């Protein structure tokens, strides 16, 4: 099997689209998180899916960036680096949420509650150590990187511009989670749809027309025959 750039771009497009679908899907009927619920099968499954989502999104936005690297400029590079760092950091924090916190929830209940509180913008009382800057880093790079990357995508006008605009809106709107935490799950929907749109646009852009080269070849042969 020969791996071509078309194959890789289409795979990246599929990865971005699946990441968007997972991001939306895990928000539906999401349980209230605390030291008790995080040990449930429901919460652990959702956090594991969020890990998968972050990995797929990282692959997807890499393909989106490389598809238009010559047109997206320095702004796109800065946005991509920040956005990729956000998803990479998210992969790490979701790893902790899925595999570490449930295992210490009974022995370190207060700590687990405080980590969850910081992650979902609820008041916390204890010191969670380096998890605090790690969560802040994830949020800042995700929001800033997503917004800058989306603006660069919109300006490049290579893939679906509506998806780029929705990505800018979705990532920037995440700031409002701290103001209206009761609607925090809804803010994932625009970003999820944007990833689906960008992924499909990238996948579709690799559907090269097969008929054109054949027609051109036939036309050339007819011209040669006519000239004799």
Does the pTM exceed 0.75? yes
The tens place of each residue's pLDDT in the chain, 228 residues long, gives: 678 888 899 999 999 999 999 999 999 888 888 899 999 999 999 999 999 999 999 999 999 999 999 999 999 999 999 999 999 999 999 999 999 999 999 999 999 999 998 888 787 888 899 999 999 999 999 999 999 999 999 999 889 999 999 999 999 888 876 666 666 778 888 999 999 999 999 999 877 554 444 445 444 454 544 545
Q: Is residue 26 helix, strand or coil?
A: coil
Report whether 27 contacts 220 (CB < 8 A): no
Please tell me the distance from the alpha carbon of residue 52 to that of residue 29, in angstroms, as a whole number.
19
Angle CA 27–32–36, to nearest 5: 130
- The number of beta carbons lying within 10 Å of the beta carbon of residue 56 is 24
Question: Which of these, 89, 190, 72, lies nearest to 142 by C-alpha position?
Answer: 89
Domain boundaries, the chain: 5-227
Q: Identify the burial level of 66 via C-beta atoms within 10 angstroms of its C-beta, where 0-12 means exposed, 13-18 middle and 19 or more buried.
A: middle
Report whether 60 contacts 15 (CB < 8 A): yes
Please tell me the distance from the alpha carbon of residue 26 to that of residue 79, in angstroms, as a whole number.
26
The length of the chain, given as a count of residues: 228
């Amino acid at each position: 099997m020969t791996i071509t750039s078309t194959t890789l771009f289409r795979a990246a497009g599929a990865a971005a689209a699946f990441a968007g679908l997972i991001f939306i899907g895990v928000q539906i009927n999401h349980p209230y998180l605390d030291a008790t619920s995080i040990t449930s099968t429901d919460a652990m499954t959702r956090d594991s899916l969020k890990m998968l989502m972050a990995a797929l999104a990282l692959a997807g936005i890499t393909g989106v960036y490389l598809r238009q690297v010559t047109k997206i400029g320095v702004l796109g590079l800065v946005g991509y680096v920040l956005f990729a760092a956000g998803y990479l950091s998210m992969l790490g924090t979701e790893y902790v949420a899925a595999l570490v916190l449930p295992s210490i929830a009974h022995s370190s209940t207060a700590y687990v509650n405080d980590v969850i509180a910081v992650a979902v913008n609820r008041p916390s009382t204890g010191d969670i150590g380096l998890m605090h800057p790690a969560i802040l880093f994830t949020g800042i790079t995700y929001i800033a990187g997503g917004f800058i990357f989306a603006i660069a995508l919109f300006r490049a006008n290579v893939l679906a511009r509506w998806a780029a605009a929705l990505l800018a809106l979705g990532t920037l709107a995440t700031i409002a989670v701290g103001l209206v935490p009761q609607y925090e799950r809804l803010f994932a929907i625009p970003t999820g749809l944007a990833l689906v749109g960008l992924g499909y646009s990238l996948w579709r852009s690799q559907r090269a027309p097969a008929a054109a080269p054949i027609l051109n070849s036939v036309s050339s042969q007819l011209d040669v025959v006519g000239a004799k």
